[in-house]
């Protein structure tokens, strides 16, 4: 066995799974974030929203950059973490599971108010929002929330599969 330790990033492993949800690998997220101006990472007023959180990789990688970039302005590490998590990073989970994964990636806990969370929130969601929304068919049998047709996504077509509507 190789003497070097092998410690894979769990989010890289998730990105390689076959599923109908595509998880962005950390290296792709970082290449995308590299295109943003460097001064962004030292701006304590900048806010970031991931509107389709799946693994939380974008928020996690943004947090790493902000932790480094805000060090001179907020020298205390816990104060800096609290500021970033409470005032700069926001996400919308697309399923209950992806909201949990995103919270785990960002807060190191599936509950933002949990004992092991790196920062404390008054509720379990923190700044990662998720609401279970069922398809509600309106005019022309289209979902009033996400616009999909009942012909393609109605219960009879997706029996045994997830039935949630995306909250956008």
Residue found under tokens 């509507």? 165
Tell me whether strands 128-129 and 89-93 are parallel, antiparallel or unpaired.
parallel
Residue found under tokens 């992806």? 98
Parse the chain into domains and list their residue ranges: 10-130, 134-168
Task: Please give the model's pTM, rounded to 2 decimal places.
Answer: 0.79
Instruction: Say which residue, 12 or 39, is predicted with more confidence.
Output: 39
Confidence of residue 1 (pLDDT cuts 50, 70, 90): very low
Confidence of residue 83 (pLDDT cuts 50, 70, 90): very high
Q: Could you read off the pLDDT of 26-75 as tens digits, one per residue?
A: 999 999 999 999 999 999 999 999 999 999 999 999 999 999 999 999 99
* Dihedral over Cα of 149, 154, 157, 161: its sign: positive
Confidence of residue 114 (pLDDT cuts 50, 70, 90): very high
pLDDT at 126: 97
Cα–Cα distance measured from residue 52 to residue 99, given in angstroms and rounded to the nearest whole number: 9
Q: Could you read off the pLDDT of 122-155 as tens digits, one per residue?
A: 999 999 999 887 778 888 888 888 788 877 766 6
**What mean pLDDT, rounded, does the chain reach?**
86
């Amino acid at each position: 066995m190789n003497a070097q330790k092998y410690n894979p990033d769990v989010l890289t492993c998730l990105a390689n799974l076959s599923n109908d949800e595509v998880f962005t690998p950390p290296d792709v997220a970082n290449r995308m974030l590299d295109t943003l101006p460097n001064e962004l990472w030292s701006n304590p007023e900048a806010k970031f929203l991931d509107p389709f959180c799946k693994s939380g990789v974008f928020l996690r990688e943004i947090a790493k950059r902000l932790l480094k970039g805000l060090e001179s302005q907020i020298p205390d590490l816990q104060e800096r973490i609290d500021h970033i998590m409470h005032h700069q990073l926001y996400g919308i989970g697309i399923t209950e599971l992806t909201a949990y994964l995103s919270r785990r990636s960002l807060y190191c806990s599936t509950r933002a108010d949990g004992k092991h969370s790196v920062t404390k929130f008054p509720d379990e969601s923190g700044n990662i929002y998720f609401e279970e929304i069922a398809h509600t068919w309106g005019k022309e049998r289209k979902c009033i929330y996400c616009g999909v047709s009942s012909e393609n996504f109605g219960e009879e077509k997706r029996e045994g599969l997830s039935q949630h509507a995306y909250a956008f």
